[in-house]
């Protein structure tokens, strides 16, 4: 089911990019987020790391030239490092809930932060949410309402 979610996420992201001119965070982000829609705290943890990376890159931009591939590499690398630190030190482990709160993927926060840098925070988050919900609805239809966890 996870593979189907990623594939649908790629298709929906490409459709939204071509139709609305806005990316859903990254080509694979919608599929990953769709698989975690039943864990809102995990999504919030991932988005919080994305915002930290976004702000860090904005600050670094005052001291160095960050554009194009360099920006992509820096945002993905920072997202990876901060996500790893969050996992290693259990930063989100104390959140209340019936599931363990973690960060989605290893490069997802960096991809989201890169899209925020390119097209703005509101636009990125809006398209990402719509794309993820669309993927989740399609998954429910494809798998006849089977519980996705």
User: To the nearest 10°, the Cα dihedral for 100, 103, 106, 111?
Assistant: 150
Nearest to 50 by CA among 110, 7, 99, 95: 110
Q: How confident is the model at residue 96 (pLDDT cuts 50, 70, 90)?
A: low
* pTM (2 d.p.): 0.90
pLDDT at 119 over 80: yes
Give the model confidence (pLDDT) of 8-48 as tens digits. 999 999 999 999 998 888 889 999 999 999 889 899 999 99
Task: Please report, to the nearest 10 degrees, the dihedral formed by the alpha carbons of residues 9, 93, 99, 104 taken in order.
Answer: 10
Q: How far apart are CA 114 and CA 128, in angstroms?
A: 13
Mean pLDDT of 64-90: 90
HSE toward the beta carbon, residue 99, CA cutoff 13 A: 12
Domain spans in the chain, listed from the N-terminal domain onward: 2-142
Break the chain down into helix, strand, coil percent, rounded to 5.
Answer: 70, 0, 30
């Amino acid at each position: 089911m996870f593979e189907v979610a990623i594939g649908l996420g790629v298709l929906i992201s490409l459709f939204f990019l071509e139709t609305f001119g806005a990316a859903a965070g990254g080509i694979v982000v919608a599929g990953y987020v769709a698989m975690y829609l039943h864990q809102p705290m995990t999504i919030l943890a991932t988005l919080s790391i994305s915002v930290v990376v976004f702000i860090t890159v904005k600050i670094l931009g005052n001291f160095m030239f960050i554009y194009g591939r360099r920006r992509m590499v820096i945002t993905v690398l920072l997202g990876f490092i901060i996500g790893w630190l969050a996992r290693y030190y259990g930063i989100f482990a104390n959140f209340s809930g019936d599931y363990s709160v973690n960060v989605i993927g290893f490069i997802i926060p960096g991809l989201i932060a890169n899209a925020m840098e390119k097209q703005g925070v509101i636009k990125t988050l809006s398209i990402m949410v719509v794309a993820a919900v669309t993927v989740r609805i399609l998954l429910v239809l494809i798998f006849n309402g089977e519980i996705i966890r």
